[in-house]
Amino acid sequence: MRALITGGAGFIGSHTADALLAAGYEVRLLDSLEPPVHPERKAPEYLDPRCELIVGDVRDENALLRALQGCDVVYHLAAFQDYLPLFSRYFDVNVTSTALLYELIVRESLPVQKVIVASSQATLGEGLYVDAEGRAVLPDIRPDEQLARGIWDVQAPEGSTGPLRWQPTDETHQNPQNQYGVSKIAEETVALSIGRRYEIPTVAMRYSIVQGPRQSFYNAYSGACRVFCLAMHQKQRPPIYEDGQQIRDFVNIHDVVDANLLVLRDERADYEMFHVGGDRTLTVSEFASVVAEVFRIADYEPEACGRYRFGDTRHICSDVSKLKALGWSPQRTVHDSVDAYRGWIEDAAPPAELLTNATAKMEELGVVRRVKS
Ligand SMILES: NC(=O)c1ccc[n+]([C@@H]2O[C@H](COP(=O)([O-])OP(=O)(O)OC[C@H]3O[C@@H](n4cnc5c(N)ncnc54)[C@H](O)[C@@H]3O)[C@@H](O)[C@H]2O)c1
């Protein structure tokens, strides 16, 4: 059996490749080695040499067709994920490539037995809340004028009574609040609907915040684990946005890989969508304290930096009951993820200016904003 992984030179793809090799698959990767992840546009050293790497873009019909030849299963993980306002590119890379994948499978009658596409918790945006009367609410993005005044909690919309309480959100919901989230809704819809219509077993995986080694130091989108670990590695205070009380669910890369292999083997997963999260929540400040513990920084007290990221969700936690019903459950802790990431930083020794450059760029783009006192 041969598996194709698009975006296979990246974080989730390369770990999935390792697991597929261990399970006896031949593995082919199609990856354009995009600069934010691969700054030197070279194949990363962590790739297992048994993987066949085709350097090419998922939007390139010839490259994708060549990569698909002789493959039994496909993981479509390549994606544009950033904060840049290149709106069309999110759809071009994440959605058009998905449609092209199915177009080639159908047009060329390729014997692909299963396609697994990477979606995201970003499809949920602020997720599900209930109001004081227990009515479900899917809140909109928090207005900038509210955030600039340092009012962090989601306010009850007209017709609801506050305060609102966040809930774990299951797969029946969608509430994307940025172009990346909208593109992922489109990607999973294209995959599941064409898959169903042409009887190509398809599974969409909505990953929460995935953590572990090989996650790029360079991609601003890589989130809290990267930023907090880089800061503490350099003995700096990590920037805690808002008041640090935002709820998040983090999931370890090996739990994600287990989920990726489980849905490959289990026919009950076909034509379904699954949340893949940590099944427990942490506030951002609690997460910072875990990082401090792993980096052995004594007496660390999380402290808000007086800034916020416009467009961030206040709280989000994926309900993973549906995947658990297939026999999966997360086995690793957040401490495990951070510890493994620490090892990766120490081995790779990323340049010190990375952190300050990334923060400056985010401020310049207007993504990170200051609270008006
Ligand atoms: N890491 C997370 O926390 C997370 C969370 C939710 C969803 N996801 C999704 O999971 C998938 C994998 O994410 P990741 O964290 O491994 O990302 P990553 O950035 O580490 O890897 C993505 C890979 O795709 C490649 N790529 C990008 N554009 C391409 C193109 N046009 N053609 C070919 N290759 C291209 C990049 O070079 C990179 O190697 C993505 O679809 C992402 O949206 C990730």
Measure 163 CA to ligand 1 centroid, in angstroms.
37
Is the shortest distance between the CB of 79 and ligand 1 below 6 Å? yes
Please determine, looking at this structure, whether the domain spanning 2-370 carries the CATH number 3.30.2270.10: no
What pLDDT is attached to residue 222?
A: 62
CA–centroid distance, residue 97 to ligand 1 (Å): 13
The gap from C-alpha 49 to its chain's centroid, in whole angstroms, comes to: 26
pLDDT for the residue 276:
98
Ligand 1 center–CA 22 separation, angstroms: 22
Name the residue of 12, 53, 123 to mutate for ligand 1: max ligand atoms within 8 A of Cβ.
12
Q: What is the pTM of this model?
A: 0.97
Contact indicator for 85, 61 with CB cutoff of 8 Å = no
**pLDDT value for 81:** 92
Cis upstream peptide for 139 (omega within 30°): no
Q: At what angle do helices 284-294 and 224-233 cross, to 10 degrees?
A: 40
Residue type, 80: F
Q: For a pocket test of ligand 1, which of 120, 183, 185, 313 has the largest count of ligand atoms closer than 8 A to its C-beta?
A: 120
Could you tell me the two tokens for 320?
């993973």
Is the CB of residue 89 below 6 angstroms from any atom belonging to ligand 1?
no
pLDDT at 221: 64
Residues (pLDDT < 50) of the chain are none
**Residue boundaries of the structural domains of the chain:** 2-370
Can you list the positions of beta strands (E) in 160-304? 165-166, 202-207, 209-211, 247-248, 250-252, 272-276, 282-283
What are 251-294's pLDDT values in tens digits?
A: 999 999 999 999 999 999 999 999 999 999 999 999 999 999 99
- Check if the beta carbon of residue 129 is closer than 8 Å to that of residue 164: yes
Pocket of ligand 1 contains residue 125 by CB under 6 Å: no
Q: What is the dihedral of CA 36, 39, 41, 42, to 10 degrees?
A: -120
